[in-house]
Structures are given as C-alpha cells and as structure tokens.
Amino acid sequence: MVSNMPLTQLRWGLLGTARIHERLIPAIRATPRGTIAAVASRDGARAAKFARQWSIPRSYGSYDELLADREIDVIYNPLPNSLHAEWSVRAAALGKHVLCEKPLACTVQEVDRMREAAARHGVVIQEAAMMRFHPQTAKLRELVAAKTIGELRCVRGVFAFVLSRAGDIRFDRALGGGSLWDLGSYCVSFMRTVLGQESHEVHGWQQSGPAGADTSFAGHLRFPNGVFGEFFSSFETCPHIEADLLGSAGRITLDVPWGSRPDAVSRIRVWSADDSGPQGTFSDASDSLRYEEFAFERVNAYCEQIASMTATLLDGAPPVITLADSRANVATLEALARSAAEGASVKMQAPDERSEEALKKGQAPREV
C-alpha cells in the first residue's frame, strides 16, 4: 500500500556510509524522479565528510535525526543485517518508505514486524536484492515456464570470494553475518524465483569462523515435482560466480547470475534438444542440442532496482519483491542455518497464508 502523500519526486535519505552507496548513489541520480537529500552516520564527522564527497545537501550524526527529517520520503537501509528490521520499522513509523538491503531480516518474526509496520503506516518496505530487478531474471523465468529445457530437474549456484579484511561485520554472527546470509541469500532467492515454488526440505553444511558466522556454506534444497537445488557460498575461495539449470531436454547457464556488471554483457545461454528422436548415450544426446543465447548489454541492476522502487511509489506499480516473498526467503535461510547447526535435514513449514487485507487492517502477525 502506497502512502497518500502526492509525491512527484522521491527524496532519499541514506542510512550509514557503507561502500554499497557507491553503487546506489549513481543509480538514484540516474533517474529524473529521484534526489538524495541527506545521509546519516553514528559519527557526525564521518557523515559530513561523506556528504561533501558525494555532494549530498545534509548530513546527520544519528539515524534518528535523519528519520525525523520531514523532507525525506524514502530511506535506503544498508546497515548490518541485524539492524535491518529495527531501523526499517522505525522509518515506517515516521511515514518513510524503505528500500532495505538483502536479506530483508534475520528471522521471519522480524519480517512480520516489518510487514505489520508497513501496513499500519501505509508505506512500502521492499528488499534490495538487485539481481531480482535485472531483466535477465524475468527472461529466465519465461524460459523455464515455457519448458524450453523440458522439465526442470536441478538448479545450481556458486557465489564465492576471499574476504580477508579483519573485523569485517560479515564475519560476526551477532550482526547477521555469514556467507549464507550474504552470498547464499542470492542463490536461494534465485532458485525460488526461477522455480516459482518454495522448497519443502533443506539440508546445510557449514565451516564456521571464530566470530560464529559461517565462512563457507553448502546447501541442498528439495522442491516439489522432483526439482533439486544446490549452492555453495564462501568467503574463503577464489572469486567465482556460477549458475545453471538442468532440464529433461536441455540446460541453461548464466554468465553473470548474481552480480551487477553494467560494463559486461550478461548472457543467458540455452542448449535444448531438437526433434531428431530418442538418444541412448551421453554423446548421442549432447551432440543433438541446439544453441541459443539472450544478451543484456550495459544493464545496471541497481538502476533497474531504483527505477522499479520509483515506479511503485510514484505510479502504483506492484513491487517486484513482495514482503511475503522476502519472508519465504528468510524462512529458507533460517532453515538452512538450523540444518547446519543440528546436522540434520529440516522440513519446511507451509508459507504464511495471511491475506493482504489482514495486513492492511494492521492485524498482528500469525506465528508459524
């Protein structure tokens, strides 16, 4: 539900001075219907320096001061994962829309608080999983739905790099850190989006670091109709991104599945079976596959994300990522983390069926 305020241009406020702003600030400024009004940090001098560096009109030495600014319409929240819910709910209570970095929260209970706050105060809270806004994602869903590679059997993904910076918050579990919650979140969201389904059983394994967060994570997901998902996320391997889909009649690979590289061409590569008849060996089958590719040149997923949020708030367009969607992703991540901790598979509960009408009325969230 969008605020009744007659907006014609969005005035953005930035929480914190994280490096991700280097990608979001140009994206906001690339749209004619957006401007950056202010930035806040717990360190006032740091906020002021950041504001000068990026030519931002106002800076604040606390997040509360920024939220109290009446000339801000929407907040971008890239704080540590453990602070996503708290500051998004506070922003909503003051009538601010929120674009919050992924994962939206650390627990489904936190997501429920965010959903309730958004409904009660008539604002939009949306997860900033930028790859979901890239046109490549919509095309991939179209190809899968059309059974271009037959019946889908397996979806796989890898997102890994070496994180060597001492003290990085992503090593700290208390702050919502871990490769699962940072990198694995993309992989899980990708699988769920492509399939348009929720997994009903997951299993995870992890390598933990000294601050409790996983430094490497391997996950398996079992979806309805016999589809399997598997992924690997890591802060301790050479940089690598990979995603592919295997079907009964072909396969699909992606050049740039998770990251946003507007300087590169993102390609969906499709190998599908022709109608030459049955095959009985590996070489027979692989030799008969026809090839097709779909290219996306100079597409910036962050710009697509900002444009989509703008269209939702100013034009009433439906959000690309609903809060129910984000809730299901968090539930899956929670189940994977629990599996790794307990050393056993975890059966997934049915998604929350609470209606949007109930949300609009501000009813309390149902525990699941």
Task: Give catalytic residue positions.
Answer: 102
Q: Following DSSP, what letter does each residue of 18-40 receive, concatenated?
A: -TTHHHHHHHHHHSTTEEEEEEE
Closest by CA to 56, choosing from 26, 36, 82, is 36
User: Order of strands, edge to edge, in the sheet holding 250-254?
Assistant: 289-297, 265-273, 250-254, 236-247, 152-162, 227-234, 214-223, 201-208, 346-347
What angle, 0 to 180 degrees and rounded to 10, lies between the N-to-C axes of helices 44-54 and 21-30? 50
Task: Check if the beta carbon of residue 88 is closer than 8 Å to that of residue 114.
Answer: yes
Helix and strand totals (H; E) in the chain:
12, 15
Distance CA 259, CA 191 (A): 15
Tokens of 227: 């589809």
If you compute the radius of gyration of the chain from its CA atoms, what whole number of angstroms results?
Answer: 21
Q: One-letter amino acid identity for 72?
A: I
